[in-house]
Structure 1
Amino acid sequence: MSASTAPAAPSVHRRALITWLAVYPTITLALSLLGSVLGGLALPLETLFLTAIVVPLAVYVIVPALMKANAHLTRR
């Protein structure tokens, strides 16, 4: 076994928490910034635009950063 072995993946419960920590604040921020702009739209359209912004941001930016931070914290 080499020293560069990747750490074990976090448990499903920790991954769920990390995902929630990425999604909830992002949705809250997006709603507070875009709520007045999107507020006049029908709910399905508002949800479409909101998720089109939040999902890529969470998947490609926030969750990986939180997973990296989690790996750093669990290595200690």
Structure 2
Amino acid sequence: MTAPDPTNVPGSPTKHQLALMIWLAVFPTLTLLNLALGDWLRTLTPVVRTFVLASIAVPIVIYGLMPQLHRARRHLLTRRAGSRRVA
């Protein structure tokens, strides 16, 4: 098994990449939570409803979705850099 090439590892995402990744994680999460909990949330005040949604969505996004999106970004950039080097 070969070690990963350190020159091929992408750096941190740019501000714009990170904004897109966060949007891709947050929007579907909030949409699904609203669909799943809509009837129950409807009875709550807007502040409590927002608190409940944020309390559920933030851990899902931070611990579940963002690591997957970072891996996908790294895979895409590493693959793209590898295909450029071969060409």
- What TM-score, normalized to structure 1? 0.91
Q: Render the CA deviation track for 1:38-66: whole Å, top value 9, x for unaligned.
A: 11010101111010000111011101111
Alignment of 1:20-39 (within 5 A): 20-39=23-42
Q: Which one of 9, 33, 38 corresponds to residue 12 of structure 2?
A: 9
Q: Sequence identity of aligned pairs in percent?
A: 40
Answering whether residue 57 of structure 2 is matched by residue 54 of structure 1, we say yes
- Provide structure 2 residue ranges, at least 5 long, that are not aligned to the other structure: 80-87
- 1:18 is matched with 21
Take 2:25 and 2:50, find their aligned partners in 1: how far apart are those partners?
A: 17
CA RMSD of aligned residues (A): 1.5
Could you tell me how far 1:3 is from its partner in structure 2?
Answer: 3.1
The structure having more radius of gyration, on CA atoms, is: 2
- What TM-score, normalized to structure 2? 0.80
Aligned length: 75
- Provide structure 1 residue ranges, at least 5 long, that are not aligned to the other structure: none
